[in-house]
Amino acid sequence: MGGVSDALGANFVTAQLDKVVNWARRSSVFPMSFGLACCAIEMMATTMPRHDLARFGMEAFRASPRQADLMIVAGRVSQKMAPILRQIYDQMTEPKWVISMGACASTSGVFNNYALVQGVDQIVPVDVYVPGCPPRPEMLIDGIMVLHERIMRGEYDAGRNTDDVWVPSPYADQAEGTVHA
Amino acid sequence: MALPEILTGMKVVIRNVFRKKDTVSYPEVRRQPFPRFRGRHVLDRHEDGLEKCIGCELCAGVCPADAILVVGAENTPEARFSPGERYAQIYQINYLRCIFCGLCVEACPTEALLMSTEYEISGISRDGLIFTKDQLIVDAPIERHWKTKKVVEPGSRLEGVTGGPQNRADSKKKVIEP
């Protein structure tokens, strides 16, 4: 599951070391500042004293993708922004995670049109979806808690597995377009 | 030379050391949202256990984000789900599309759809955030924290006024014909 037992083979030493590594990764997730719209305001509010992301070691929003390992896509992603978002995601160092914050980033919400990417999971693998328009800071922290659980389980490449791809429901005509891994 | 400036700055720091902490330790301490906070939806029931939803699809029609899917079906004497003719066979809300505007709640003619103050609904897949009827419907009727009818107290200036749209239409007429 984790990085150490993948590299050195799974035994009782690497399994315990994985737990320590995952705990360290969980405790200092550095987010990318990728605010695209109004969700970014709530993302900023989450770092403010009232909600204080520093409690989870996340207060440093990095402007450089090389220093970040979590991309919080906060806001609507336009077709023009999509290749830039993908490029910045590729520039981030492994292991990396993506939180799709709000209705626009997740499915484009009310903006069902040609100008916007219908869900950021069409261009990057998303680990946690946070609903809301925009989500209040507690909702984002709740999403971060879900992400922490995933990191503790060592699922840092979960979104890229082909078995983890979103499968259209029987009412696919009501739902969104196709999703790539 | 710079001592007064340092002291001025440290005064702010020291003052804030003794202030009450502003941080709410969220996952452990949860602030209760206001009663009218628009969170996750719930589907209400009548006192006798029948569903209030009649499958009219008004909520799905009014939804600006196309987040609601309702498929209605006819009630039969053998399988009765709601008091009227029809009930919602399939009721789904896609929380990744929902913008929590509350238009569906306003549109609902039977007050079946309500919004709770629950907001912790993050998920790890698109499928998992499409809530079905089983997840939305409640087991017992919801107790309202608001009054559905306004009670005019005796002695108030509204006493004796037979309000409503009828009166408003009359007053409009007066303005039109001078």
Task: List, for residues A104-157, the tens digit of each pLDDT value.
Answer: 999 988 998 889 988 888 888 888 999 999 999 999 999 999 999 888 887 765
Question: Considering only residues 88 to 117 of chain A, which have any Cβ-Cβ distance to chain B shorter than 8 Å?
Answer: 103, 106-107, 109-110, 112
pLDDT at B102 over 80: yes
Contact present, A29 and A58 (Cβ < 8 Å): yes
Edge-to-edge strands, sheet with A97-101:
A31-32, A70-74, A97-101, A128-130
Q: With an 8 Å Cβ cutoff, are A52 and B23 in contact?
A: yes
Task: List, for residues A163-172, the tens digit of each pLDDT value.
Answer: 444 444 444 4
**So what's the pLDDT on residue B160?**
62
Q: In the predicted model, what is the mean pLDDT of residues A88-113?
A: 89
Whether ipTM exceeds 0.90: no
Give the pLDDT band (50/70/90) at residue A94.
Answer: confident
Question: Considering only residues 134 to 173 of chain A, which have any Cβ-Cβ distance to chain B shorter than 8 Å?
Answer: 135-139, 141-143, 145-146, 150, 158, 164, 166-167, 169, 171
What mean pLDDT value characterizes chain B? 84
Residue to substitute from B97, B98, B103, B117, interface A, most A β-carbons within 10 A:
B97
Q: With an 8 Å Cβ cutoff, are B69 and A174 in contact?
A: yes
pLDDT at B176 over 70: no
| Interface membership of A56 toward B (CB under 8 Å) | no
**So what's the pLDDT on residue A153?**
83
In whole angstroms, give the CA distance from residue A93 to residue A70.
10
What is the pTM assigned to this prediction? 0.80
**So what's the pLDDT on residue B151?**
66
Question: Considering only residues 2 to 41 of chain A, which have any Cβ-Cβ distance to chain B shorter than 8 Å?
Answer: none
Q: In the predicted model, what is the mean pLDDT of residues B98-118?
A: 91
pLDDT at B93 over 90: yes
Q: First CA to last CA across chain A, in angstroms? A: 19
Strand B130-131 with B86-94, pairing: antiparallel
